[in-house]
Amino acid sequence: MEPTITELEVEIIPEISENPSIVQNASHSYYYPFVSHSIPYFLDAAKRMVTDLDISTCAAIVGIIFVPALYFLHLVALFYGKYRGHHPRQYDSSHPGVSIIKPIIGIDDNLYTNLETFFTTDYHKFELLFCFNTQDDPAVKLVESLIKKYPDVDTKMFFGGERVGLNPKINNMMPAYRIAKYPLIMISDSAIYMRSDAISDMVHTMMSNEKMALVTQTPFCKDRKGFAAAFEQIYFGTSHARIYLAGNCLQFNCPTGMSSMMKKDALEECGGFAGFSGYLAEDFFFGKKLAARGYKSGISTHPALQNSASVTMRSFTNRICRWVKLRMAMMPQIILVEPLQDCFPSGLIISFSLNYLFNVDILTTMIIHTAFWITSDYMVMYRMQNRKMTLSPIRFLLLWLLRELSAPLVFIKAALEPSVRWRDNVFHLGLGVAE
């Protein structure tokens, strides 16, 4: 039986007698005690909920926070890629010269084409500095033929390097760095195919801010034939591009050294190239040490077009494993995150979390999650390509599925084999050991 008005009035009389001010509006006076009692009630309820939390509930809450954060990175990469990507540039004659250092070991079918793009760049003031470990490297004759073809290009070759630390790439480039005559230093791997206006674009980015000291190109791949080449392009156009674009937009330190440009004066403040010879992942520490001195880093609007003709599934897997090992050595905390950040592990996390907390159907969540992931990955790769995709939708889907399904296996392989084989050297890494 519902209480009568008289009973309600009886219940609120003590409150009215203790606090006469609430009688100011007699028609609503009995709501005020309810509000005053509700606030502590909800606080008590919140305390009880926190007290009653078990491990499963906490894990589900963490999952609901973690996976939407990954969705956020997708959106950041999409919008930043559209804002930042592929702006045509013409060189500005007032911009400084660039010393382009190219470490080279060995030869493949695309090397001549890749190197020639640097001889034909439309930038007004640059020098090409080629670094070889030995004079009998098969690529030496190829470079010599390009020098004869383009005699007006300022070019020098160096052999043997200079041992200043454990990093073989730094050792190889040291002689070129010492004699570089321009204020901007560019490091470009031999497999990079350069657009004619790409150097102008990197310099434009560098000169856009007085404190800018490091500019990199987002790693991507030129269109090539073959299954392994297409698989590599999928990786760099989706998973890697997403993290690289979002990381640079959010100002995380994540530079890749395959195509990077730095101010020599800023490098000298950090000890020059020799100051980074004790690190295997010198590109990461370029960004870290420059940032510690107040310098900024940014990305060029053109991607770094990798164009190696000798890529195989084995060489690609070994390369990605090496990167994972270096990340684990430098930042051991990522062991808890990296294997969970791909599509299917994160899909399982959000599906079971929503099911546990809100009884949402697991299969429905997994389908929506996967559809969002593959759609956004396709759009990111489209931004990187900046034109009609050369891969058919079916081939993209199959390669994408293989990439996502193999990612946990690559991580496990990297975790179980902490040694890094780099050229003729083997390095044994420990957790938290960055040198």
Q: Which two tokens stand for residue 300?
A: 């060029």
Query: Do the bridges between strand 126-132 and strand 155-159 make them parallel or antiparallel, or are there none, so unpaired?
Result: parallel
Query: Do the bridges between strand 219-221 and strand 126-132 make them parallel or antiparallel, or are there none, so unpaired?
Result: unpaired
Query: Do the bridges between strand 259-263 and strand 296-299 make them parallel or antiparallel, or are there none, so unpaired?
Result: unpaired
User: Could you list the active site residues?
Assistant: 283
HEC string of the chain equals CCCCHHHHHHHHHHHHHHCHHHHHCHHHHHHHHHHHHHHHHHHHHHHHHHHCCCHHHHHHHHHHHHHHHHHHHHHHHHHHHHHHCCCCCCCCCCCCCEEEEEEECCCCCCHHHHHHHHHCCCCCCEEEEEEECCCCCCHHHHHHHHHHHCCCCCEEEEECCCCCCCCHHHHHHHHHHHHCCCCEEEEECCCEECCCCHHHHHHHHHCCCCCEEEEECCEEECCCCCHHHHHHHHHHHCHHHHHHHHHHHCCCCCCCCCEEEEEHHHHHHCCCHHHHCCCCCHHHHHHHHHHHCCCEEEECCCCEEECCCCCCHHHHHHHHHHHHHHHHHHCHHHHHCHHHCCHHHHHHHHHHHHHHHHCCCHHHHHHHHHHHHHHHHHHHHHHHHCCCCCCCHHHHHHHHHHHHHHHHHHHHHHHHCCEEEECCEEEECCCCCCC
Dmax over Cα atoms in the chain, in whole Å? 107
